[in-house]
C-alpha cells in the first residue's frame, strides 16, 4: 500500500486535479491520498491558505472578512466548475467557512488555526467529491474521526503517540481515502495546525500508522536538486539520499519537503519518493535509510537567509561552570530559540533567526548578558546566511572542509562562522547575505561541476 500526498500547486486548478486523479487511479496500491489547500495557479496568484489567514486577521480586528471569504469560496467554485462537480459541495464549503469565521475569537491563536485548517479540510471534501463523480469508490476522512490527535500548540502541533494506533484502523476502510493535511485535533476536540507546509507531516504520519510500503510526495519538480535552481543554473538531480541527508537539507532551506516530515517515515523505515505531478513518469528522488556513497562526499548544498549571531567573549569562559546554560537561559527568558552555538575557549556565538527579535530587544539582551555574565564583549551580527554542505560520504572522506574553505576563499567570500555537525554528515558556513549566491556557486563548482564534466 502507498500513501500519496499532493501539494498546493498540484491542486490549484481543475486541470491539475485531473492529473492527480489519473496518477492515483493508475496504481491500485495508492489507497490514501493526503491533500494540501489549493496553491498558486500563477506567480501573482494567492494561495488559499494566505487568503484564510487574511480572513482570520480581519475577523480578529473586528473587520468584515466577507470579501476574502468570497475569494476563498470562488477558488473552490472555479475548480468544481472546471471539473463539472455538483454545486452542492461548494455550498457545504461556504457554510463551513461562515461557521468558522463566526466562531469564538477569545483565543486568537486557536481561531487562526481553525481558519487555516479549513483550506485542507474543504479541499479534501472537494477532491473526494470529484473522485466519486468519476465513478471511483472514494471518501473524505475527518481527522477527528480517524484519531489524529495532536498537542494543543497553535501553529506548531505535535502528534500524540496514541494517534498511530487509532489511525491504523483506516486499514479497514474500503476504497480510496482522501485525508486533509496540515492539522489534527487535541483531546479536547479543538483544531491545531502543524507548522506551515505541514501537509507533508500528515502524509508521513499516515504512512507510519498504516505501515505503508512507500510514501509518495508529489510536488512540481522532477526531483530534489543538489542545490537551489534559483542560485545555480541547471543543477544536478539527486536520485537517492538518506533520511538524515534530506533532514539536514530541508532544515537548511530545501523547500521541497517539510523538515519535520521525515521523522514518522524514518521511525517506521518507510522509503519516501519525491515525484512531479506534471511529469509522473519521471523517477523522482528516493529517500531511504541507507544508500551507496558513489557520488563523492557531498550530496547537496542548501542555504537560507535571515539569521543573526550574538557573539560573546569572556576571558577564561571555558573554566566557568554553567556559562552556556546561563547564556541560553537569558535568551529563553526573551522567548528566543537558537539554531547553533559554535564556540571557542574564550568565546561563543549563538545563531538565531533574526525575525524573532522585537524592537528594542537587542539592546536589552546585550545589557543582560554584560550584567549577568560579566562578559568582556557582546556583539550582534546581522544579515547572515547559513550554507549547509551535506553528504554521508563526508564521514569517510578526508579534506572536505579544506576543499570547501578553499573554494570560498577563491571566490573571495569571507566566512563569518564555521560549524560541523557531530554526525559528520553536514558542515555549515555563515556568510553575509549579499555573498550567499556567490558562496553557493563556488561550493557547487567545487563538489559537482568537476564531477559532471
Say if residue 274 is in the same domain as residue 179.
yes
pLDDT on residue 290: 86
Q: Which of 225, 196, 262, 191 is nearest to 36 (CA)?
A: 196
Contact present, 110 and 183 (Cβ < 8 Å): no
Say if residue 206 is in the same domain as residue 351.
no
Say if residue 224 is in the same domain as residue 330.
no
Say if residue 257 is in the same domain as residue 334.
no
| Residue reference for cell 479541499 | 123
- Average pLDDT score over residue span 382-405: 89
Say if residue 320 is in the same domain as residue 352.
yes
- Average pLDDT score over residue span 233-261: 85
Q: 452, exposed or middle or buried, with CB in 10 Å at 0-12, 13-18, 19+?
A: exposed
Last residue of a domain, one of 268, 288, 308: 288
Q: Which of 419, 425, 420, 421 is nearest to 384 (CA)?
A: 419
Say if residue 74 is in the same domain as residue 124.
yes
CATH number at residue 431: 3.30.2130.10
- Average pLDDT score over residue span 343-359: 93
- Average pLDDT score over residue span 48-76: 96
Say if residue 342 is in the same domain as residue 249.
no
Say if residue 328 is in the same domain as residue 267.
no
Contact present, 173 and 209 (Cβ < 8 Å): no
pTM as predicted: 0.86
Q: Which of 231, 214, 229, 227 is nearest to 274 (CA)?
A: 214
Task: Kindly tell me if the per-residue pLDDT of 101 is higher than 90.
Answer: yes
Q: CA triplet 272, 127, 28: central angle to 5 degrees?
A: 50
Last residue of a domain, one of 249, 265, 288: 288
Measure Cα distances from 288 to 90, 269, 271 in Å: 40, 8, 5
Pairing relation of β-strands 377-390 and 300-313? antiparallel
293: in domain: no
- Average pLDDT score over residue span 300-324: 94
Which residue positions form the known binding site for ATP? 5-8, 219-220, 225
Task: Kindly tell me if the per-residue pLDDT of 253 is higher than 80.
Answer: no
Task: Kindly tell me if the per-residue pLDDT of 396 is higher than 80.
Answer: no
pLDDT on residue 140: 98
- Average pLDDT score over residue span 146-160: 96
214: in domain: yes
pLDDT on residue 248: 85
pLDDT on residue 398: 80
pLDDT on residue 451: 54
- Average pLDDT score over residue span 257-268: 86
pLDDT on residue 403: 92
Say if residue 109 is in the same domain as residue 200.
yes
pLDDT on residue 123: 98
295: in domain: no
Which residue positions form the known binding site for substrate? 49, 120
Q: Where are the beta strands (DSSP E) in 354-453?
A: 377-390, 417-420, 426-432
The confidence band for 23, taking pLDDT boundaries of 50, 70 and 90, is: very high
pLDDT on residue 259: 74
Instruction: Tell me the HSE value of 262 on the side-chain side, using a 13 A CA sphere.
Output: 24
**Long-range contacts from 82-88, C-beta under 8 angstroms, 24+ separation:** 82/13, 82/14, 82/15, 83/14, 83/17, 83/18, 83/130, 83/133, 84/133, 85/126, 85/129, 85/130, 85/133, 86/129, 86/133
Residue-averaged pLDDT of the chain: 93
pLDDT on residue 345: 92
pLDDT on residue 293: 67
325: in domain: yes
Q: Give percent of the chain with pLDDT exceeding 70.
A: 98
CATH number at residue 214: 3.40.1160.10
146: in domain: yes
Say if residue 268 is in the same domain as residue 357.
no
Q: CA triplet 255, 251, 119: central angle to 5 degrees?
A: 45
Say if residue 324 is in the same domain as residue 217.
no
Distance of CA 278 to the CA centre of its chain: 21
The confidence band for 294, taking pLDDT boundaries of 50, 70 and 90, is: low
Say if residue 228 is in the same domain as residue 138.
yes
Which residue positions form the known binding site? 5-8, 49, 120, 219-220, 225
Task: Kindly tell me if the per-residue pLDDT of 246 is higher than 80.
Answer: yes
The dihedral sign for the CA sequence 144, 149, 150, 151: positive
The confidence band for 453, taking pLDDT boundaries of 50, 70 and 90, is: very low
Task: Kindly tell me if the per-residue pLDDT of 193 is higher than 60.
Answer: yes
294: in domain: no
Total tally of structural domains belonging to the chain = 2
148: in domain: yes
Last residue of a domain, one of 288, 312, 337: 288
Contact present, 274 and 223 (Cβ < 8 Å): yes
Task: Kindly tell me if the per-residue pLDDT of 371 is higher than 60.
Answer: yes
Edge-to-edge strand order for the sheet containing 426-432? 347-353, 300-313, 377-390, 426-432, 417-420
The whole domain housing 359 covers 300-452
- Average pLDDT score over residue span 401-408: 93
Q: Under DSSP, is residue 363 helix (H, G, I), strand (E, B) or coil?
A: helix
Amino acid at each position: 500500500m502507498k500513501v500519496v500526498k499532493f501539494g498546493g500547486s498540484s491542486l490549484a486548478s481543475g486541470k491539475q486535479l485531473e492529473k492527480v486523479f489519473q496518477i492515483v487511479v493508475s496504481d491500485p496500491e495508492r489507497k490514501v491520498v493526503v491533500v494540501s489547500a489549493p496553491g498558486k495557479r500563477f506567480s501573482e496568484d494567492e494561495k488559499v491558505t494566505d487568503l484564510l489567514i487574511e480572513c482570520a486577521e480581519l475577523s480578529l480586528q473586528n473587520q468584515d472578512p466577507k470579501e476574502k471569504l468570497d475569494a476563498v469560496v470562488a477558488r473552490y467554485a472555479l475548480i468544481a466548475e472546471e471539473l463539472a462537480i455538483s454545486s452542492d459541495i461548494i455550498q457545504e464549503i461556504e457554510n463551513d467557512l461562515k461557521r468558522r469565521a463566526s466562531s469564538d475569537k477569545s483565543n486568537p491563536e486557536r481561531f487562526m488555526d481553525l481558519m487555516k485548517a479549513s483550506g485542507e479540510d474543504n479541499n479534501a471534501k472537494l477532491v473526494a467529491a470529484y473522485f466519486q463523480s468519476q465513478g471511483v469508490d472514494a471518501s473524505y476522512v475527518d481527522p477527528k474521526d480517524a484519531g489524529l490527535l495532536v498537542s494543543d500548540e497553535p501553529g506548531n502541533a505535535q502528534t500524540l503517540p496514541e494517534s498511530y494506533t487509532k489511525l491504523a484502523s483506516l486499514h479497514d476502510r474500503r476504497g480510496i481515502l482522501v485525508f486533509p493535511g496540515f492539522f489534527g485535533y487535541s483531546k479536547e476536540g479543538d483544531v491545531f495546525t502543524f507548522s506551515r507546509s505541514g501537509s507533508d507531516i500528515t502524509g508521513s504520519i499516515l504512512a507510519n500508522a498504516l505501515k505503508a510500503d512507500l510514501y509518495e510526495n508529489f510536488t512540481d519538480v522532477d526531483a530534489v536538486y543538489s542545490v537551489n535552481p534559483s542560485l545555480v543554473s541547471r543543477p544536478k538531480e539527486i536520485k537517492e539520499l538518506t533520511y538524515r541527508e534530506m533532514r539536514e537539507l530541508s532544515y537548511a532551506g530545501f523547500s521541497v519537503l517539510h523538515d519535520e516530515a521525515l521523522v514518522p517515515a524514518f521511525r517506521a523505515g518507510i522509503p519516501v519518493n519525491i515525484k512531479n505531478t506534471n511529469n509522473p513518469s519521471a523517477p523522482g528522488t528516493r529517500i531511504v535509510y541507507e544508500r551507496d556513497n558513489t557520488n563523492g562526499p557531498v550530496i547537496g548544498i542548501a542555504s537560507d537567509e535571515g539569521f543573526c549571531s550574538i557573539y560573546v567573549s569572556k576571558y577564561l569562559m571555558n573554566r566557568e561552570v554553567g556559562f552556556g546554560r546561563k547564556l541560553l537561559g537569558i535568551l529563553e527568558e526573551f522567548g528566543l530559540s537558537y539554531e547553533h552555538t559554535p564556540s571557542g575557549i574564550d568565546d561563543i556565538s549563538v545563531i538565531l533567526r533574526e525575525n524573532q527579535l522585537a524592537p528594542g530587544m537587542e539592546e536589552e539582551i546585550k545589557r543582560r548578558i554584560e550584567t549577568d555574565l560579566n562578559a568582556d564583549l557582546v556583539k550582534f551580527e546581522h544579515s547572515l546566511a547559513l550554507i549547509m554542505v551535506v553528504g554521508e560520504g563526508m564521514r569517510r572522506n578526508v579534506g572536505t572542509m579544506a576543499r570547501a574553505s578553499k573554494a570560498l576563499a577563491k571566490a573571495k567570500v569571507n566566512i563569518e562562522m564555521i560549524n560541523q555537525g557531530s554526525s559528520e554528515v553536514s558542515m555549515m558556513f555563515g556568510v553575509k547575505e549579499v555573498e550567499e549566491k556567490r558562496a553557493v556557486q563556488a561550493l557547487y563548482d567545487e563538489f559537482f561541476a568537476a564531477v559532471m564534466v
